Structure 1
């Protein structure tokens, strides 16, 4: 797992002094085995500008291993495969050491044994070229599954609640610590079912099917009625700068699970939509713009 940066530097850039939780040039992260196309290299050779399946930006060159187009495509499209279903999973390399994967990461399945999966893991030779090394995953971890999980509401909710309480991390990295932000949570919990969403919240909103539009002049009661009557649990609720998974309502009061760094929280939480009512931005309910369905 490595960072994708707006510029070829590891320096932290913030909007306000000491606001280290929000490094504004931290775009996202890419995980073990993510195919990339390198289109440019920094003058010092330390950074490579990469196109990934869902983003682009600068990646440390030492974190990339180079293969032919055919080798990379074969690895990326390998079948059968195992899927990481936990927030993080551990793969033990036969040659020594471990690799950490995150929810939604696929690894080619080479052999299934009674107590373990043998998988292919991309590693880097001394000259930077690609080697596919053997790794083993203990089945008792229960952090991986062969193939994808069923694309059901139960799967999506189970995946989301498995991340409850996990610290928030803008661009998936908080001063180098593992985490997710709101849109990465939505992306990862769906990735385990084989649904590949864009990385950012506004892009996710655009590719999904709209169910309800919320207008600025709508009252709280009107918004709650629309959610209760027309929006199914498992839908995604969007607003400028934030996105959430809709859980349903209790006596007309809507609830969501989301990854937030606002209103005194900095983690994955379950809340109603009154959160933020006393803030300058207003409540989540009043900020809603759309409810959309994935798939």
Structure 2
């Protein structure tokens, strides 16, 4: 599977903020930006960022912008919503039984699971755009990247490996960003078109091939594919794979706890969604096995308050613990800077419960029982969510964005989502964003009270469906259309 992006829908993606699927070919932009204006700011200097040290600039930085009503009105903690709407499940759900097979899928591959033509889509999709200096990227750069990508060697290594650190997965083998148009809201920062996804520390992967210089490797995880730095992976043998898969699993439920080895040396930070094989238990700690670049086991310590042994039944305590950790996240397009976007937040939240979800928003929206909102009014959408939605087990979907339904509160439909910004439009028709930039709890009318709010882009107007991912997909009757997978209420 690969995570990709709809280039033509980038404005919609920016509003919600999830990597989505295969882009249209990106046209070569008009390679010009308007002449830059003289930069005179609070320091009184012209263009002060040219060659001065930050401490010499003396610019007064802004602090807080306008408040957003939802974020003040509703407590930004899961406690009241879980207490009112959450449940303690008595048994593991059917979807939890297949987690191991999905998680370790890359180690079952004998060859890349995608055709070369599909894997190499970025070489055709990207022929223009803007770089980190906000200037047009020259054609020669794309030619060199295409040559380095070495797709003639696709599927020649076919090696099983683990990652040695958390890493970005890139659409092209480079750290450099590519933006569609930095002048337009939703087409510039943070929406680096080359940020495909990310991969956890010590996660199972499959390696197809490397760049010609060997610096980058093309990999498949259980949910995405793309380029990572070669020094961040270690090839593992079948004996190691068997040992890992037979071990009991430790599921991480706390971000950013430092894991240390027997000599108290820092190894890595924990991250919700990470799964590690158990070596043994010692008092209040789990000792787990990790692997270095030489395929040698390093045992690290994780306190039991940061993890649990085996997949957990859905329960209120863990929903609060994990959810409140994720509500601390700022927004990270495609997982940039170690943060999460909308779909990766939901995916990671349910990994400790042994529920495997796809990486991108469109694929997540098709998981489980899907209920379409086609031709529904906004009132009908809200009524359907209230009557059919299962709190903490239902995804609400609109193009480019997914939200977790957390139930009703004071008769409001509430959702938890990691969100970039509220769409705005001024009197002259210029679009912009009021940046939220973090995980929040809100209604589906987030930001409606803001100046220049664009009512056509209200979340509630744009939601297309909801899906209860813990339910089995609906079976079609003989009279149902073969292509339809969505139920009308």
Same fold, judged at TM 0.5 (above): yes
Distance (whole Å) between structure 2 residues aligned to residue 54 and residue 164 of structure 1: 23
* Match status 1:2 vs 2:170: no
Return the index of the structure with the highest Cα Rg.
Answer: 2
Alignment of 1:142-161 (within 5 A): 142-152=305-315, 155-156=318-319, 158-161=321-324
By percentage of residues, which structure has more helix? 2
* Offset of residue 249 of structure 1: 1.9
Q: Distance in 1 between matches of 2:460 and 2:344?
A: 21
Shift of the 97–162 alpha-carbon distance from structure 1 to 2, 3 Å rule, reads closer
How far residue 276 of structure 1 moved from its aligned partner, in angstroms, is: 5.4
> In structure 2, how many angstroms separate the alpha carbons of the residues matched to 1:84 and 1:251?
33
Distance 1:49 1:160 in 2: 32
Q: Structure 1 or 2: larger strand share?
A: 1
Match of 1:87 in 2: 255
Tell me: CA distance 1:150–1:231, structure 2 relative to 1, closer, same or farther (3 Å): same
Q: Is 1:121 aligned to residue 290 of structure 2?
A: yes
Aligned to 1:14: 179
Paired residues in the alignment total 283
Alignment check: 8 A CA contact 2:170 2:228 kept: yes
Select which of 205, 210, 217 maps to 1:48: 217
Deviations 1:147-198 (A, max 9, x none): 222224664454223321410101111xxx2210000011011100111111
**Which residue of the partner structure matches residue 280 of structure 2?**
111
Rounded to whole Å, the distance in 2 between the matches of 1:196 and 1:221 is: 32
Instruction: Give the unaligned 5+ runs of structure 1.
Output: none
**Distance of 1:195 and 1:120 partners within structure 2:** 22
State whether residues 169 and 199 of structure 2, in contact with CA within 8 Å, keep that contact through their aligned partners in structure 1.
Answer: yes
Trace 1:57-72 onto structure 2 (pairs within 5 A): 57-72=226-241
Deviations 1:110-163 (A, max 9, x none): 1111132221111113xxxx1121112234xx2112222222466445422332
Deviates more, 1:185-194 or 1:20-29: 20-29
Residue 353 of structure 2 corresponds to which residue in structure 1? 193
Q: CA deviation at 1:70?
A: 4.1
Structure 1 CA distance for aligned equivalents of residues 273 and 338 of structure 2: 15
Distance 2:316 2:466 in 1: 16
Structure 1 segments of 4+ aligned residues over 3 angstroms from their partners? 152-158
Name the structure 2 match of 1:258.
Answer: 417
Q: Distance in 1 between matches of 2:248 and 2:388?
A: 39
Instruction: Measure how far apart 1:279 and its partner are.
Output: 2.3
Q: 1:115 to 1:207 in 2, by over 3 A?
A: closer
CA separation of 1:224/1:102 partners in 2, compared to 1, >3 Å: closer, same or farther?
same
Supply the distance in 2 between the matched residues of 1:255 and 1:275 (Cα, whole angstroms).
10
RMSD of the TM alignment (CA)? 1.9
Local SS of the residue matching 2:218: strand
Query: For structure 2, which runs of at least 5 residues remain unmatched after alignment?
Result: 1-165, 423-434, 471-489
Aligned to 2:380: 222
Q: Which deviates the most, 276-285 or 217-226?
A: 276-285
Structure with the bigger RCO (C-alpha within 8 Å, sep 6+) is: 2
Contact 1:92/1:136 (CA < 8 Å) preserved in 2?
yes
219 and 267 in structure 1: CA distance in 2 versus 1, 3 angstrom threshold: same
Say whether residues 1:28 and 2:189 are aligned partners. no
Contact 2:326 2:349 in 1 (8 A): no
Contact 2:169 2:197 in 1 (8 A): yes
Aligned to 1:238: 397
Pairing 1:194-213 to 2, within 5 Å after superposition: 194-210=354-370, 212-213=371-372
Aligned-residue offset at 1:251:
4.8
